[in-house]
Amino acid sequence: MPDPTLNYVPCADAAGGHRMAYWQWGDAQAGHVVVCVHGLSRQGRDFDVLAQGLLSRAAQPLRIVCPDVVGRGHSDWLVDPTGYQVPGYAADMLQLLAQLHAQAPVSTLDWVGTSMGGLIGMAVCGTPKLPLPVPVRRLVLNDVGPAIEWQALQRIGTYLGNTGHFESLQQAADAMWAISTSFGPHTPEQWLALSKPMLKSLHDGAFTLHYDPAISVPFRTVTQESAAQGQAALWQLYDNIRAETLLTRGANSDLLSHETAQAMTQRGPHARLVEFEGVGHAPTFVPDNQVEAVASFLLRSDSAHEKPDSGTS
């Protein structure tokens, strides 16, 4: 299968603007668009396996778009690091969707969001009267919800912003695995494939992580009290969602509790919950059963209105 194409969209900010990069798979003219948005310190190539899995299963043309959220991957870094927050990211996604719609009309829009990408998806789907080409039809929230466990934020804070200096790809992959074992079992080949796009080369031939260390600046201002106070607003966004919603969760996740996940099945869009055993935060959509869970949800015919029961994979 051909590699994705790298594209850019201009986005506004108070310092004069920035470019957001995005990777595009499939048919660039397809009306059915799936936007896949990564987690806090990740980038758009995280979805390579999922994108290929969707394209191999799709009966109709599909356009899959995987942005590098600003400050990550091939996107620009912000002059003002306080802009590294969900409202700004959501505004960039509106610019992306407008550009995609101008290039080829969007008739069906789906969203897959891992962790931070899920929060951006909640903002896009749960904020009334946004200028979307079409409403989001189906939403996948991957291991995230309106209530985020404080101990997980503390864990992420121990490494966020430390982009490192590595002598080889393997050394970098090993270092990333040390903080990412919660992703669940991966073969060495799978982990190396996930790790390569996470790195950029330095002038001395070494490697460092792809993102702006300053993405940690607003993150470090979050306190346990402010996180708790923000939950009401996030629940309001969630309750506003009209898209059919699939909630995927690592059964051992320390960020999305089982209790919060269950609550998400009972209110708002009444998400269908699928939990993956042996996985924490967050499923990578690399193992076959994870790809199949998302593909069967997104590619199911609109005429199939039955809603499957919650389950565990």
Enter the tokens of residue 55: 């394209």
Q: What's the confidence (pLDDT) of residue 303?
A: 63
Residues 84, 222: contact at Cβ < 8 Å? Answer: no
Q: What's the confidence (pLDDT) of residue 30?
A: 98
Q: Which of the following CATH numbers is that of domain 5-150+226-312: 3.40.50.1820, 3.10.580.10, 1.20.1250.20, 3.90.79.10?
A: 3.40.50.1820
**Longest C-alpha distance within the chain, in Å?**
57
Q: What's the confidence (pLDDT) of residue 54?
A: 98
DSSP for 172-218, written as a single string: HHHHHHHTTGGG----HHHHHHHHGGGEEE-TTS-EEESS-GGGHHH
Q: What's the confidence (pLDDT) of residue 310?
A: 43
Q: What's the confidence (pLDDT) of residue 301?
A: 87
Enter the tokens of residue 166: 């590595």
pLDDT in tens, the chain (313 residues): 789 999 999 999 999 999 999 999 999 999 999 999 999 999 999 999 999 999 999 999 999 999 999 999 999 999 999 999 999 999 999 999 999 999 999 999 999 999 999 999 999 999 999 999 999 999 999 999 999 999 999 999 999 999 999 999 999 999 999 999 999 999 999 999 999 999 999 999 999 999 999 999 999 999 999 999 999 999 999 999 999 999 999 999 999 999 999 999 999 999 999 999 999 999 999 999 999 999 999 999 876 554 444 455 5
Residue-wise pLDDT for 238-293, tens only, equals 999 999 999 999 999 999 999 999 999 999 999 999 999 999 999 999 999 999 99
Which residue in 233, 259, 250 sits closest to 119, CA to CA?
Answer: 233
Bridge partner residues of 61 (DSSP): none
Q: Break the chain into its structural domains and give their ranges.
A: 5-150+226-312
Give the integer Cα–Cα distance in Å for 276 and 283. 8
Indicate the average pLDDT of the chain: 95
Q: What's the confidence (pLDDT) of residue 304?
A: 53
Give the integer Cα–Cα distance in Å for 42 and 44. 7
